[in-house]
Structure 1
Amino acid sequence: MDKHFLIASFLFCFIAAVTPLKCITCHLRTRTDRCRRGFDSCTAQKFESCMSLKIFQDNILQLSYMVCQKFCRDLTFDLNNRTYVHKCCKYNYCNSKI
């Protein structure tokens, strides 16, 4: 019985490890609207994760952008009275929530 449990656990871990990461894509989402351009999903390739870029002005969301992104990293910076928030995550469709 222990052998069967061990084999089943190994197979579960193997399947979870090779299941491709799925992300939401939206190339233009406004604060008052749903996705206006490029709504779909993408399958992350090697070294990619799900990414979301949100642009705020006066702490109000103006635009957002979501894709699969290679070598993604979390980053926040201010430029021209706008705040850019770049977030990355690694579970299915996680960039729709961040």
Structure 2
Amino acid sequence: MNKHFLLVFFLLSCIEVQTLLKCITCHLRIKSDRCRRGFGICVAQKSEACMTLKIYADQSFQLSYMVCQKFCRDLTFDFNNRTYVHECCNYDYCNYKF
């Protein structure tokens, strides 16, 4: 009986591992270039989503920042002649779209 329990536990553990949300990390991506700092992958924890912050000046893309973000929510705001677009998503690598 213990062997059956361990087998079921192992299978459920594998399923949980496969369903973890993976996001791209990049702490500095500039206009028409690759990631300059912090490129990698993060695994979202409970209450986290993939997040991208894009910054525009005069409607022209300037830079972005990508991470796993806790309590993420979509929003857009203007400050100091720049537009900040904060986007959240919930499927693997979804924050790596340009």
TM over 0.5: yes
- The percentage of aligned residue pairs carrying the same residue is 72
Matches of residues 1-98 of structure 1 in structure 2 within 5 Å?
15=15, 19-97=19-97
Deviation string 1:37-81 (CA, Å, 9 cap, x unpaired) is 000000000000000000000011001000000000000000000
Whichever residue aligns with residue 60 of structure 1, its letter is S
Count of residues paired in the alignment? 85
Task: Quote the offset at 1:32 in angstroms.
Answer: 2.8
Task: Quote the offset at 1:97 in angstroms.
Answer: 1.4
Distance 1:67 1:95 in 2: 8
Distance 1:39 1:93 in 2: 12
Q: Which runs of 5+ in 2 are unaligned?
A: 1-14
Q: TM-score, normalised by structure 1?
A: 0.81
Q: Which runs of 5+ in 1 are unaligned?
A: 1-14
Q: TM-score, normalised by structure 2?
A: 0.81
Q: SS at 2:95's partner residue?
A: helix
Task: Quote the offset at 1:96 in angstroms.
Answer: 0.4
Partner residue in 2 for 1:7: none
Whichever residue aligns with residue 70 of structure 2, its letter is K
RMSD, aligned CA: 1.8
Runs of 4+ with >3 A deviation: none
